[in-house]
Amino acid sequence: MERKSEGILMTLENTIPEFYRDLTADNSLKGLWHFTHRRSESDPKKPARTENGLPHQVALDWKEIFPEHQGKIEIEIGSGRGAFLAEYGNRHPESFILGSEWDYTWAAFAMRKILKNTLGNTAMLRGDIFYFLRDRVPDSSVDAFHMYFPDPWPKERHHKNRLLRPEFLKEVARTLKPGKRNFYWGTDHKEYNEWALEYFDAFPGCVVTQRNVAEPTEGIMTGFEVKYRKEGRPIYRSVIVFEK
């Protein structure tokens, strides 16, 4: 049996294996958390598969990462060097903001920048944010998402690496709290922007309230945005509301 997914034929028999992933605090850098594969006991070079083939889902208590939080959680996807995260966290001591990066070097760099500003309400996750949302973040526990200038993966054969796809938006919708909650989006890449807005428009209960004309969130620009504006590149910023 076959089915189509984003224009690619996939066989149901070729299922993607599920792995154990553990959330651990960094031993040497306060505020940095790792969400990584558990290693197989039989072959430490390989990740450990779950015995039943199902996702390894363990609900997170946000107080594990933010012991002092009082309920307001925001997530930035792809924090780069941490410019937005540090400034936004400084302006909003009432919020607790988790940044994220796949690469350790970037995640550690952003965390060090945050610590220079002595921000106790901000932390960094190093790992795959999709699986973190799917397997750890509880329903209705996040107030807002921010996603600015992600890698556009411009080559068509790499589009599968793009995070903005229906299964990701499903987790965003599930984890946002009831009511109108915002997803802040920005990119300089025209084609990726059109791709993203098509998915936002098609997702149930998702409304683009500011399309391509939104200002930088609270006037805070990321390091990439500062660079791109100086180069004269067009910038596409939108605000998307997930209605529940």
Domains of the chain in sequence order: 128-244 (3.40.50.150)
pLDDT of residue 71: 84
> Which residues are tagged catalytic?
151
Residue 127 Rama label (left phi>0; alpha psi -120 to 50; beta): left
User: Per residue of the chain (244 residues), what is the pLDDT tens digit?
Assistant: 333 333 433 444 446 789 999 999 999 999 999 999 999 999 989 999 999 999 999 999 999 999 999 889 999 999 999 999 999 999 999 999 999 999 999 999 999 999 998 788 999 999 999 999 999 999 999 999 999 999 887 788 878 889 999 999 999 999 999 987 999 999 999 999 999 999 999 999 999 999 999 999 999 999 889 999 999 999 999 999 998 7
pLDDT at 16: 77
User: 229 by DSSP, 3-state: which?
Assistant: helix
pLDDT of residue 145: 98
Burial class (CB in 10 A: 0-12, 13-18, 19+), 69: middle
What's residue 160's pLDDT? 87
* 83-91 and 104-116 helices, crossing angle to 10°: 40
